[in-house]
Amino acid sequence: MRAEEAGAQADADVAIRARGLSKRFGALRAVDRVDLTVPRRHVYGFLGPNGSGKSTTIRMLCGLLTPSAGEIEVLGLRIPEQAEALRGRIGYMTQKFSLFEDLSVRENLEFLAAVQGVPRPAARARIDALVEEYRFGDRQKQLAGTLSGGQKQRLALAGAVIHEPELLFLDEPTSAVDPESRRDFWEKLFELADAGTTLLVSTHYMDEAERCHRLAILDRGVLVADGSPAELTGALAGRTLVVDAPQPAQAKHALAAAPGVLSVAQIGNSLRVLLADAGDAAPQAQAVLRQAGVQAQVEPAAPTLEDVFVAATRGRAAGAEAAA
């Protein structure tokens, strides 16, 4: 394959590409020089706490917010210049239920189909299919405002895909529902991805982040990690420990004060320790505890995405303090 053809194929496999993406609100830099590449037909996660810049980034990628700096290309279109052409090709769902509570389930879907310009005969067939797929067969006439949280979430997702978008943005869509509804919702997301839809999902739930094909972690507007969950956790090999001690509080105090320790978290009677660097982690921790007169058993542990997040954010903060 020639270089030009290879480049065209690579572009065709990318749904979103952003370079140097920034957004200022006065003196506040909400998003700071973010580079992002989202492959097509992937569930791509945005992980970060409230205020990390996830929603601001999504609104810029959708064309709803103009960047202060940087370049965006979504589905081959320049954003925000070609945002109008993009709108019919994307879907958008937020954590807040945004449909009409005084309309029925079917009336909401009919309204959204009309807004998206779906021809009436096609809309009828599409709504019938969604009613069946999203389990609203016996609730078509029920007012949306009387649905449960999980049912509202399913209805909002059905509305977001009424026009069969190529790309779906979901901004913390599961923050107000129970764990079972969250699990069912994610099954729907993977069905959409399997059918060819690209999904960008922001979340602050670690278990949801683990389900994504790829993941970006944002911290105070900065992209601090990007890769598959396996790649991100694998990069922390040798830096995580589990410590079992009869006096966990005393062990935690000793380890937290030791150089090279990024975090110590108590989970039941055990401690989870994250180090700044890999190496002879277990013997070093054991030596610290022995010097402090604390009896404990120290074992290596498999890294988790929570460890990745802590390493990325606290490691960055430690680097900034050292630079200062």
- The full DSSP string for 51-117 is TSSHHHHHHHHHTSS--SEEEEEETTEEETTTHHHHHTTEEEEESS--S-TTSBHHHHHHHHHHHTT
Q: Count how many residues are written for the chain.
A: 324
Instruction: Give the pLDDT of residue 316.
Output: 53
In this structure, what token pair is assigned to residue 110? Answer: 């009919």
Mean pLDDT over 210-234 rounds to 94
Percentage of the residues of the chain whose pLDDT score is greater than 90? 75
Average pLDDT over the chain, rounded to an integer: 90
* Tally of domains in the chain: 2
Instruction: Give the pLDDT of residue 10.
Output: 52
- Is the pLDDT score of 181 beyond 90? no
> 116-127 pLDDT, tens per residue?
999 999 999 999
Which of 45, 54, 49 lies closest to 23 in space, CA to CA? Answer: 54
Instruction: Give the pLDDT of residue 48.
Output: 87
- Is the pLDDT score of 207 beyond 70? yes
Which of 88, 85, 74, 86 lies closest to 118 in space, CA to CA? Answer: 88
Q: Which domain holds residue 98?
A: 3-227
In this structure, are 194 and 88 located in the same domain? yes
> CB-side exposure of 300: number of CA atoms within 13 Å?
10
> 252-291 pLDDT, tens per residue?
999 999 988 999 999 888 999 999 888 777 888 899 999 9
In this structure, are 187 and 314 located in the same domain? no
In this structure, are 117 and 256 located in the same domain? no
Confidence of residue 97 (pLDDT cuts 50, 70, 90): confident
In this structure, are 243 and 212 located in the same domain? no
Mean pLDDT over 135-146 rounds to 94
> CB-side exposure of 269: number of CA atoms within 13 Å?
6
Instruction: Give the pLDDT of residue 51.
Output: 86
Task: Kindly state the DSSP code that residue 144 receives in the 8-state scheme.
Answer: G
**Contact partners, residue 158, CB within 8 Å, separation at least 6:** 109, 130, 131, 133, 134, 136
Confidence of residue 195 (pLDDT cuts 50, 70, 90): very high
Domain boundary, last residue among 172, 193, 227:
227
In this structure, are 177 and 291 located in the same domain? no
In this structure, are 111 and 221 located in the same domain? yes
- What predicted TM-score, i.e. pTM, was given to this entire model? 0.87
> 31-45 pLDDT, tens per residue?
999 999 999 999 999
State the Cα–Cα distance between residues 201 and 203, nearest whole angstrom: 6
In this structure, are 73 and 217 located in the same domain? yes
Instruction: Give the pLDDT of residue 260.
Output: 87
CATH code for the domain in which residue 253 is found? 3.30.70.100
Q: Is 31 helix (H, G, I), strand (E, B) or coil?
A: strand
Q: Output 318 or 235, whichever has higher pLDDT.
A: 235
In this structure, are 64 and 119 located in the same domain? yes
Encoded amino acid at 295, one letter: Q
